[in-house]
Amino acid sequence: MANGLEAVEPLEGIVAGTSLWADAWWRLRRNRLAMVGLVVLGVVVLASLAGPPIIAHTTGYTYDYIPSEPALIRAMPPFTGPDGHFAWTHPMGTDNAGRDILARVLLGGRISLLVGITSTLVSLIIGTTFGATAGYLGGRVDEAMMRIVDVLYALPYMMIVIVLLAFFGNQSPFGQLILLFVALGAVSWLTMARIVRGQVMSLKSRDFVQAARATGVTPVRIVLRHLVPNALGPVIVYATLTVPSVMLLEAFLSFLGLGVQAPLASWGSLSADGIQNIAIFPWQLLCPGLTMAVTLFSLNFIGDGLRDALDPQARKS
């Protein structure tokens, strides 16, 4: 009885053995697009993690390896060897310095996914804390806090991020990544705060919260142990949809030369390099760009599928 998870879905208990999550997983599995998305995303993640060492082992190329032979320092189309005939060495071709684009795209995948996930976590922490506080305290505090969110919504915040990165960036590749995590997380928590607040508002008057309060549980514990876990569904859905949008923002900044710095690369910075030679070597843009598009496509489908799975009301009619 004291366990909040049972009290939220009282009807669920009648159908013995299917929890909210098992139900959601069952519905998600029947969503073909979301499952395709999951598989594609799995392939991209696996390739980014396992690919670079495999390439380094078989062909000797790493993301920043520039061949020593002058004849190899040039752009080669996909699946072409130095003699112009078919070869497996560079499935995505090479860039102007003769670097293997596949190895670079996979490194870019690591960085882009890392930025996407970490910044989403940052936004999750800020948004959940802010939203839960506002929703739980209610009244004037809530009104003031949500006014702040409204105001921030209506500001050209990306311009401030651009200023931040242009003036503070370019220190070290690692410092730049930290800066990106924080900057992107700090601008993408607004919707999350609204969602969490709404959930907390509707949950806090439930009996199990009253019971917890009556037994003397502190407000912080009530929020953390009873309210936040019960608001998890919509939060997970929105977090899944935040990952692609943050990755887009990262790519946008890297494209402008303000994001990830060389020698590291992300899909955005690789596309920016590729666009220079679009007329002669189009694969230099298409390979990183389309890899990114496919990844975002799957992430969006997974997010949509999760929303339909966790909130069946949304799609029914």
Partner 1 sequence: MLKFIIRRLLVTVPMVLVVVSITWGLIRLAPGNFYTGEKAIPPAIERNLREKYGLDRPWYVQYGRMIGNTLHGDFGSSLKYPSTSVNSILANAVPVSATIGTLAYLLALLVGIPSGAMAALRQNSTADYASMTVAMLGISIPNFVLGPLLVLVFSLTWFWLPPARWNGFSPNLILPVLTLSAIYMAYIARLTRSGLLEVLRSNYIRTARAKGLSDREILVRHALRGGLLPVLSFSGPALVFIITDAVVVERIFALPGVGNYFINACLNRDEPLIIGIVAFTAIAVLVFNLVVDVAYAFVDPRVRY
Are 267 and 109 in contact by the 8 Å Cβ rule? The answer is yes
Q: Does 78 bind partner 1 (CB under 8 A)?
A: no
Residue 4 and residue 297: Cα distance in Å, rounded? 36
Q: Does 270 bind partner 1 (CB under 8 A)?
A: no
Binding of partner 1 at residue 293 (CB under 8 A)?
Answer: yes
Kindly determine how many residues on this chain lie close enough to bind partner 1 according to the rule CB under 8 A: 44
Q: How far apart are CA 276 and CA 6, in angstroms?
A: 58
285 near partner 1 (CB under 8 A): yes
Taking CB under 8 A as the criterion, which residues in 212-251 touch partner 1?
244, 248, 251
Structural contact between residues 88 and 79, judged by C-beta atoms closer than 8 angstroms: yes
In the beta sheet, which residues pair with residue 75?
none
Applying CB under 8 A, among 2, 43, 155, 178 the residue interacting with partner 1 is 155
Q: How far is the CB of 294 from partner 1 (least distance, A)?
A: 8
Residue span binding partner 1 (CB under 8 A) among the ranges 10-18, 60-68, 227-235, 277-285: 277-285
Does residue 263 have a cis peptide bond before it, meaning omega lies within 30 degrees of 0? yes
Window of 17-25, 120-128, 224-232, 270-278 that interacts with partner 1 by CB under 8 A: 270-278
d(CA 282, CA 135): 51
Choosing from 60, 173, 275, 312, the residue that interacts with partner 1 (CB under 8 A) is 275
Both tokens of 58, joined, read 């078989």
Does position 133 bind partner 1 by CB under 8 A?
no
Q: Toward partner 1, which CB reaches closer, 85 or 316?
A: 316
User: For residues 262 and 131, is the Cβ–Cβ distance under 8 A?
Assistant: no
Query: Which among 8-16, 85-93, 198-206, 298-306 is the span making contact with partner 1, rule CB under 8 A?
Result: 298-306
Residues in the chain: 317
Nearer to partner 1, 25 or 252 (CB): 252
d(CA 228, CA 219): 12
Rule CB under 8 A: say whether 286 interacts with partner 1.
Answer: yes
Segment near partner 1 (CB under 8 A), from 77-85, 120-128, 227-235, 283-291?
Answer: 283-291
Minimal distance, residue 252 CB to partner 1, in Å:
6
The dihedral region occupied by 170, where left means phi > 0, alpha psi between -120 and 50, and beta the remainder, is left
16 or 159: whose CB is closer to partner 1? 159
Using the rule CB under 8 A, is 141 a contact of partner 1?
no
d(CA 40, CA 311): 24
In the chain, DSSP finds a helix count (H) and a strand count (E) of: 14, 0
3-state secondary structure 251-295: HHHHHCCCCCCCCCCCHHHHHHHHHCCCCCCCHHHHHHHHHHHHH
Site for partner 1 in 156-195 (CB under 8 A): 156-160, 162-164, 166-168
Give me the residues that bind partner 1 (CB under 8 A), please.
33, 151, 153-160, 162-164, 166-168, 244, 248, 251-252, 255-256, 258, 268, 271-272, 274-275, 278-279, 282, 285-286, 289-290, 292-294, 296-297, 300-301, 304, 317
